[in-house]
Structure 1
Amino acid sequence: MTAALTAAWRDPRALAVHAEEVLAGLPHKADRTPGQRARLDAATDDARRGRTAFLAEHGQAVYDALTGNRTRYLWLDELLDAAAELLDGLVPTREQMAAEAGRAQADKEGREIDQAVFFSGVLRHERAGLHLMESLLRPTDRALALLPEFTERGSVDLGRLHVERVGDAAHLTVTNPDALNAEDNDLIAAMDVGVDLALLDDRVKVGVLRGGEMTHPRHRGRRVFSAGVNLRHLDAGRISYTDFLLRRELGYLSKLQRGLLPVDASGDPVTSRKAHWSAPTVQKPWIAAVDSFAIGGGMQLLFAFDRVIAASDAYLSLPAAQEGIIPGVANLRLPRIAGSRLARQVILSGRRIHATEPEARLICDTVVDAADPAALDTAVAAAVEELAAPAVLANRRMLGLAEEPPSVLRAYLAEFALHQGLRLYAPDVLAKTTKFSGTS
């Protein structure tokens, strides 16, 4: 099979090699003439067209070769490393990505787009795509290492996230106070671990997510749910395509909805007492407690939760059109939850929804009086008690299958994987984020 893939890759590889040769002969990106930029764009487009066509025909065979016919489960970075070793030029090498890492977003060569082409090509094939999605449902190594401490002490500090077991619930509190709990690479990694711990601990029946108190001058001492993606980090080139944009959707957000796939000592999925043959993933209901605002990725999160409780002075927004990137899986979920017309107003026009508006009830199950400091805590405690009922899990699982079958999510993610990579380097996105240059 490898020989056949190598032969099929010969012509697309030549295009990839040519693009690298053109790039190697050019000065720094900022010093290129319009003609040089046009020549590189043409060569790069040809190479990406070749990769796309190759993966459309051979993507399943490539994935099978990388995973031993889907017997091995690889993380996103492991899959990229294996693909770079299998077929030269199919994806950027680790060394090429390291050279990009220290650059501002506007100064990068856009190699993450080639990663996007690869993952989109894999996800477009049903067997490969579903297996990749399943691979990212495994618990992280860090969560497995921290699990004994968490089960014994009932709490763990993950830096950007604090996890504490209170009664039947695991409370995940986002602690990125100087950035209004905006998401960055570190928070995504912490959320993956925190969700894992809540799902792995047998004493936890319900998960709760809430934002912690702020140190930001405008909101000092107030809780904030989320300000979305950290645009300062995006401008600085510190928002990773794989470790943030793709891992977020395939990792902890998918675990919130689809559950955790338990593994054995070697890291392979297993059937155990935690994952009975009738329910291979460990699922639990989740509650979101929204203080102040849920912007961008914060609002996206709400669509994955079973119960959303908001303070009356909170608002929700998805400024995707203004920021220029795709709001994760919101384009798939929000029309189902709130209707196509409202979804278009929110996503395409940036409509802000206040918790006291009638439309907010399509997203928020309960709105409590913001003037009562205990109201949100009381509502969360009542929701935990209700959702801890034994029959909730079975019905939750069936609702999830009816609302978002894995095949539907896979088809969406195949397009998202490509177009989010393209938007990450779109001129309008780069122009909007550069206003944060020089800040951290």
Structure 2
Amino acid sequence: MSQNSDAVLARLNRLHPKIIDLSLGRVENLLAALGHPERQLPPVVHVAGTNGKGSVLAMLRAMLEESGRATHVYTSPHLARFHERIRLSGQLISEPDLLALLEECEAANGEAPITFFEITTAAAFLAFARQPAGILLLEVGLGGRLDATNVVAHPELTILTPISMDHMQYLGDSLEKIAREKAGILKPDVPAIIGLQPPEALQAIQDRAEEVGAPLFIQGRDFDVERQGNEVLFRQSSGETRWPLPGLPGPHQVENAGLALAAARQLNAFLPDPASVARGLKKASWPARLQHLSEGNLPANLPQGWELWLDGGHNAAAGQALARALNALPDSAETKPLDLVYGMLNSKTAAAFLEPLAPLVRQLRAVEIPGEPNSLSAEEAAWHARECGVRAEPASNLSQALQDLVQCSAQPGRILICGSLYLAGEVIRQNEGETV
């Protein structure tokens, strides 16, 4: 038997095909060998999109758990540990259970080429099929149409969060192509909640829905949401309802709350109690989504008056949402200047992410993401920031970046670490004192 799940995960990574061709054939073959666990799942809410998937799922999970509903959740990528991806009835999967499932999938797959996401998704489906629950919240890994999660034939509900340019090397070089891939999760007669979309993305979604016969509930047409004071106003044809502000900070989370509320309406049999919905909105939490790090190793080493924040956003839409959220935080730029520490993968467009943030930034330190061969070097990342008009220098590591920002500042500031979920995971590990 393997020593731990990390050893099996490392072996599974070596099965990765030499050329990535998005398809369902590999995962379908493995699931057949495992007895088709994807056909034995609880009712599924399937979520795709570019930005906001995790936040919408976090709100829905909190609502369902507040209602007493046993809820399975599948998300990706993880931040600090792989176990975060598989949540069984409110609890992260245990190490013994994860190890056994991974070894079972490894034995069933043999030496056949398969992607890491495909084989670990099969393991997750085994876990979800074997432990009863009232509902499963299932997040797409990449795209939708050919994503390993799209083997679920009859979900209870689908959700498409806002779509923007991302993963173009796999999904296409236009919003229309990307939206069509993500709309591949739409199924005949399965209602779909559609977030605010650019016109070309919305048209692609509507075309796909017409092809398969999926009823759409579209934000801006069938429902809408806005903040009014300290409440969320949710409108639909049957009238208006008022809800508490979501526990996740930032104006963009009001939009995400609208999708979660629209989903809750469709899931009325699972969420009949409005009080549970309200409590869930307030209690929802999701790491590395404009998360204030007030405890742990990293903030403890900052001088008095400094704040430390963390966000995993990494594309243009995330940069825009972050800029709006930062502007909405207490204290002005004059009383609490903004400094950035950022690192990015070389598959992302750094300028598109940084441009909305650049006018707000006092200074920046760029870092290479530890353990990520596809990370921009600190020097490359700093160059991209300077091209956006930001005072930027490379730093050798995260600790050095934080130390430099403090030493170069006459006034305590608000430091935001951002640019990558992989960097966010490293921050969480360091903050909790884990060695990697």
Q: TM-score, normalised by structure 1?
A: 0.27
Q: TM-score, normalised by structure 2?
A: 0.28
Whose strand proportion is higher, 1 or 2?
2
